[in-house]
Amino acid sequence: MAANSCSQDEVDDKVLLPSNLEVSIEEMENGQVRVIFSAQQVNFFRVGFGDSNELPAIVTGNEVTHRYNSPGEYTIVVQAHATEGDFIKKDQKVTISEQMLGIGFPNSGFESPLQYAGYTMSWNDEFNSTSLSSDWVFETGDGCPNLCGWGNNELQFYRRENTEVKDGYLVITAKRENVGGKNFTSSRVKTQGKKVFKFGRIDIRAALPKGQGIWPAFWMLGESITDISWPACGEIDIMEMIGGNQAGRDNTVHGTIHWDNNGAYKYQGGKKSLSSGSILADNFHVYSIIWDENKITWLLDDEVYHEEDIRSSAMSEFREPFFLLINLAVGGNWPGNPDDSTIFPQQLAVDYVRVFEKN
């Protein structure tokens, strides 16, 4: 009888551990992950994310989200507890990339040649220095008082500090920070007063940013803008992208012209979308125009996607010299404002700008 009683006490004292612990991880925007977990015979869960020295913390429910602030590989630990000291666990690794955090660039993509039949390179910037060349000047501020919001209700304040030349790239960074009464900062550079161009081929190789309210652009304005203003000076948009998760945004490039059509503003353009679920931020691409006195042709990775006839006498501004601009806007009439899905910082990396004149 004594032996049987002792055996029964041992059975009563034995803890029944949880079983069938299942863990899944979803990678989200802004460096966030969602951890979903379940188990049987569990009293509570603890979860650790591997980015601090703290022990796994008690969580309620069957899922939890966490935001990582630095790129790297992290080990997520999920513990299913019967008691504080009695539990089972599962470890799962997650890799947070620089691009998930809005920094860093792809290492692949299209590259254009250094020469074309019938053309000679007349000017280029490969951004191989450590500072911006004297061919570029900055535009700073918010456009006020003459052109507040730069004419589009944009939300950024342009600063020199948001431009870097490093690792062979011109890098413009858009940040969520309060400067000059605005909630975002970025940069805008141009060749006005330094370099102007009339006809030829222009190639710009770049890795674009992404996300709702993000608006990178490579474009040109007529040198006459200081005398006759816009749109009479003419505008050539080599590339614009309005970011966002919905179809036709992060995966679509736009090419457009704006002009004064006998006293009335007019614009016309075309666009090209990537297929197979790709977005423009996934790779470097080359954005080009071929421009002569008769037409402007837009190309993505050397494939034509749109043409505009400019022979009309009302489009004479497109037969005059233009200067280049590169900027990364935040918000505005066309893209709309950033939302909770928008990653900050966002970076635009330009590998080179090359201008070719016809022989």
- Is 235 catalytic? The answer is yes
If one compares 11 and 330, the residue with the highest pLDDT of the two is 330
Q: What is the mean pLDDT of the chain?
A: 93
Q: How large is the C-alpha radius of gyration of the chain? A: 28
Residue 300 pLDDT more than 70?
yes
Which neighbouring-strand residues pair with 146?
none
5 pLDDT band, cuts 50/70/90, is very low
At 176, is the pLDDT very low, low, confident or very high (cuts 50, 70, 90)? very high
How far lies 7's CA from each of 4, 12, 14, 86, in Å?
5, 9, 11, 21
Mean pLDDT, range 258-276, rounded to an integer: 95
pLDDT of residue 13: 64
Q: Which of 164, 223, 240, 308 is catalytic?
A: 240
**pLDDT category of residue 11 using cuts at 50, 70 and 90:** very low
pTM for this model (two decimals): 0.82
Question: What domains sit in the chain, N to C, each tagged with a CATH number?
Answer: 2-98 (2.60.40.10), 102-358 (2.60.120.200)
pLDDT tens per residue, range 220-243? 999 999 999 999 999 999 999 999
Q: What is the predicted pLDDT for the residue at 32? A: 86
How far apart (Å, rounded) are the C-alpha atoms in residues 257 and 234? Answer: 7
Predicted confidence band of residue 2 (pLDDT cuts 50, 70, 90): very low
Which residue type occupies 39?
Answer: A
* Active-site choice (164, 223, 235, 317): 235
Instruction: Please say if 29 is a catalytic residue.
Output: no
Answer with the residue of higher pLDDT: 102 or 149.
149
Task: Give the pLDDT score at 102.
Answer: 76
304 pLDDT higher than 80: yes
